[in-house]
């Protein structure tokens, strides 16, 4: 049975649960519920008060099933628009000032959240670090751009969550001046977008399989798609959309006219992506051209067979993996090094028994040490337990060295370290 642990945080008393040497504080609200008039509005900071039961599981943003279920398997969690929460794993809520890892999940800006896949217990225990998982708005609720609205709401959520970390993480045994933002896929792109905003609440970044080769979406393209999606959902404008059932907005993502509108843009993006709106993001730059790579030390890399998660068997995918993932990672590391930052590159090649090879997302079970949570993952169908342990030991060790400010165990960029 887990041990109950209480923590005083401002005007609140948090009740967390301690298990296997790590205390977990779940579903801590960092923003008010984005419902009613706050739907499609920037996040509003929340203050925790009174007795807070932090032993439960946070709701994730409303979403459709992930299109990567065929490789990742399934990971169910409660869904709610009231999803703006963080979950904290800490070895001890003391004054030790440990390094902090803030996890930014992937999912094409449409799926994901603080899931069992990303449980921070193993990282916190092995590395003596504080791990924070962040839930943000997804899909139309977080990334729709429409007339009279604000773009990139999910990014603003993430920004506010990082501000929460800066303000409160010392109470959980963390050091607000040693924060690493760690993101995979869309989460990595979100970190790049935060770097474009400036005023950084983190000092290091780990970018795992971030498709930076796509760049960001133009405001005109996003407005066109947003208008089509609202119409498909049954709303003429954002004010009408505030009154729609959330399922109407989710179903609209699958409407044929929305699919056609995305294809018509021919900009290499899916339905959602960060938007160069000129307000929450610059109007016309890419993260690489903006000098974002020059601001923090970075561990950046890709998986050898990224595109096998998306393409049919037998389709060529190597060129797309290079264009979307590998070359932008190399460019990012090179720009960081030119600016005097420390930069390391990696490639994850996986192991035998992985039928999709080292596809998109294949490194996640080993970074977090959550192989059991990926029990339904076809991508790990025949992986030997010994190989899983070996990869977990290697990836976690390198990631934690970087988080602590140490070299991860190989030469800096342009050298590429291969995990296999």
Q: Is 111 designated active site?
A: no
Compute the distance between CA of residue 40 and CA of residue 144 in angstroms, rounded to an integer: 8
Pick the catalytic residue: 185, 209, 290, 413? 185
Q: Is 360 designated active site?
A: yes
Beta bridge partners of 53: 15
CA distances (Å), 371 to each of 56, 132, 285, 392, in order?
22, 19, 39, 9
Contact 161, 52 (CB under 8 A): no
- Could you tell me where the beta strands, DSSP code E, fall in 120-161? 130-134
Compute the distance between CA of residue 379 and CA of residue 303 in angstroms, rounded to an integer: 13
CA distances (Å), 13 to each of 6, 169, 190, in order?
7, 15, 32
Q: Is 171 designated active site?
A: no
Residues 6+ apart with CB under 8 A from 61: 79, 81, 83, 113, 135, 136, 137, 138, 139, 141, 142
Bridge pairing between strands 49-53 and 130-134:
unpaired
Q: Report phi then psi at 371, rounded to 5.
A: -55, -40
- For the chain, percent helix, then strand, then coil, each to nearest 5? 35, 20, 45
Pick the catalytic residue: 85, 111, 290, 306? 306
Pick the catalytic residue: 171, 290, 360, 413? 360
Beta bridge partners of 207: 183, 300
Q: Would you name the residues annotated as active-site residues? A: 185, 306, 360
């Amino acid at each position: 049975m887990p041990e109950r642990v209480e923590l005083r945080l401002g005007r609140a008393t948090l009740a967390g649960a301690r298990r296997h040497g790590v205390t977990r504080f779940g579903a801590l609200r960092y923003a008010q519920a984005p419902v009613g008039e706050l739907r499609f509005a920037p996040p509003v900071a929340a203050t925790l008060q009174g007795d807070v039961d932090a032993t439960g599981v946070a709701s994730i943003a409303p979403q459709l099933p992930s299109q990567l279920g065929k490789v990742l398997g399934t990971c169910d969690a409660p869904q709610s628009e009231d999803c703006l929460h963080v979950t904290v794993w800490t070895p001890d809520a003391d004054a030790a000032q440990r390094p902090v890892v803030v996890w930014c999940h992937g999912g094409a800006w449409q799926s994901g959240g603080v899931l069992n896949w990303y449980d921070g217990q193993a990282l916190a225990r092995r590395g003596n670090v504080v791990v924070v998982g962040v839930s943000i708005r997804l899909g139309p609720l977080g990334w729709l751009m429409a007339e009279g609205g604000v773009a990139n709401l999910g990014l603003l959520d993430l920004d506010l969550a990082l501000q929460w970390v800066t303000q409160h993480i010392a109470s959980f045994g963390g050091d607000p001046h040693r924060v690493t933002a760690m993101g995979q896929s869309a989460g990595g792109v979100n970190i790049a977008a935060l770097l474009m905003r400036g005023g950084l609440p983190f000092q290091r970044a780990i970018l795992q399989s971030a498709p930076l080769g796509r760049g960001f979406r133009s405001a005109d393209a996003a407005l066109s798609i947003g208008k089509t999606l609202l119409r498909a959902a049954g709303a003429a404008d954002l004010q009408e959309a505030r009154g729609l059932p959330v399922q109407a907005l989710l179903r609209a993502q699958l409407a044929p006219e929305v699919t056609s509108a995305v294809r018509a843009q021919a900009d290499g993006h899916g339905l959602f992506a960060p938007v160069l709106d000129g307000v929450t993001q610059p109007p016309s730059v890419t993260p690489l051209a903006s000098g974002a790579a020059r601001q923090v030390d970075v561990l950046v890399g890709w998986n050898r067979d990224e595109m096998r998660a998306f393409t049919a068997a037998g389709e060529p995918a190597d060129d797309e993996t290079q264009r979307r993932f590998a070359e932008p990672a190399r460019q990012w590391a090179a720009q960081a090094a030119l600016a005097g930052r420390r930069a390391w590159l990696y490639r994850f090649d996986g192991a035998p028994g992985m039928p999709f090879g080292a596809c998109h997302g294949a490194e996640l079970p080993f970074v977090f040490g959550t192989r059991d949570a990926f029990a339904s993952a076809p991508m790990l169908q025949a992986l030997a337990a010994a190989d899983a342990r070996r990869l977990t030991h290697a990836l976690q060790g390198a990631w934690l060295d970087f988080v602590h400010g140490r070299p991860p165990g190989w030469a800096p960029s342009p050298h590429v370290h291969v995990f296999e």
